[in-house]
Amino acid sequence: MTSERFKDQTAIITGGADGLGLHIATRLVEEGARVWIVDRDQERGKAAAERIGCEFELLDVADEVSVNAAFEKLASDRGPVDVLVNNAGIAHVGNLETTTSEDLDRIYGVNVKGVYHCMRAAIDGMMEGGQGVILNMASIASPLGIQDRFAYSMSKGAVLTMTLSVARDYVEKGIRCNCICPGRVHTPFVDGFIKKNYPGEEEAVFDKLSKYQPIGRMGKPEEIAGLAVYLCSDEAAFITGSAYDIDGGCTLLR
């Protein structure tokens, strides 16, 4: 698919080296955006950028100083950011009893403060230009909580409420802010997670996780990317402060 929906627009995708971030970045490149993927995995990030025809910057979103420097570099090279997709995130398995303070800080540093750092670094330029789009990657864990995912659910709940707050505070500045709440999506991250945590049980666990969705399977990255790109486009100009469930029917079980 090719179009020019994002012609002359600059987009930053965090965690863009693979998975959902890479699929979203690919779609934005195909639709005319000047894309900059940022990731803390330099080897995979460079390879991904070369493959889809965009730029790459090594960045840990948990490091506020580095985030500010990266956004300032982009602004000097290409002007303010038009589209920011906060996709970078990490997972953790554990309930309240098994989650340590260190675990909580690690998840909070990336999944919450990472989103905060990037939004804060982009917002001044968006206000100066009188427009901008922020899309945050939340989760079905945001409104529901997920069993044995205490820290992760906490962090994604924060992503949802940060989204609503930013949407409310900047709606009159021409800035839209929404989030997507995916269910389980089949990415390399899922395969690696299963292999690490359930050695020897990969096939059975994959089947169980797939059937968790009432629709009977995990989502596909391109399905999430399609919704993401729509919400970032002018076709969604009337949408802000919204959280979109895309979860194979999981929210039917509330």
Nearest CA among 228, 248, 243, 65 for reference residue 156: 243
Q: Cβ distance 4 to 32 under 8 Å?
A: yes
152 as an active site residue: the answer is: yes
Mean pLDDT of 101-113: 97
When pLDDT is cut at 50, 70 and 90, the band that residue 252 belongs to is confident
Mean pLDDT of 25-29: 98
Q: Cβ distance 71 to 122 under 8 Å?
A: yes
- Give the β-pairing of 55-58 and 34-39: parallel
Q: What is the pLDDT of residue 147?
A: 87
Q: What is the pLDDT of residue 146?
A: 85
- Residues whose CB is less than 8 angstroms from the CB of residue 78 and which lie 6 or more positions away in sequence, other chains included: 10, 34
Q: Which domains does the chain have, with CATH numbers?
A: 10-183+220-246 (3.40.50.720), 185-218 (no CATH)
Task: Say whether 96 sits in a helix, a strand or coil.
Answer: coil
10-14 β-sheet, strand order:
55-58, 34-39, 10-14, 83-86, 132-137, 175-182, 243-246
Place of tokens 């989204």: 163
Average pLDDT, the chain: 94
When pLDDT is cut at 50, 70 and 90, the band that residue 145 belongs to is confident
Q: Specify the higher pLDDT residue, 197 or 157.
A: 157
Is the pLDDT at 167 greater than 90? The verdict is yes
Q: What is the pLDDT of residue 2?
A: 61
Q: What is the pLDDT of residue 25?
A: 98
Using one digit for the tens of pLDDT, what is the confidence trace for 220-247?
999 999 999 999 999 999 999 999 999 9
Is the pLDDT at 1 greater than 60? The verdict is no
Report pTM.
0.94
Mean pLDDT of 22-44: 97
Is the pLDDT at 254 greater than 70? The verdict is no
Q: What is the pLDDT of residue 98?
A: 96
Local structure of residue 149 (DSSP, 8 states): B
Considering the candidates 152, 170, 212, 244, report the single residue annotated as catalytic.
152
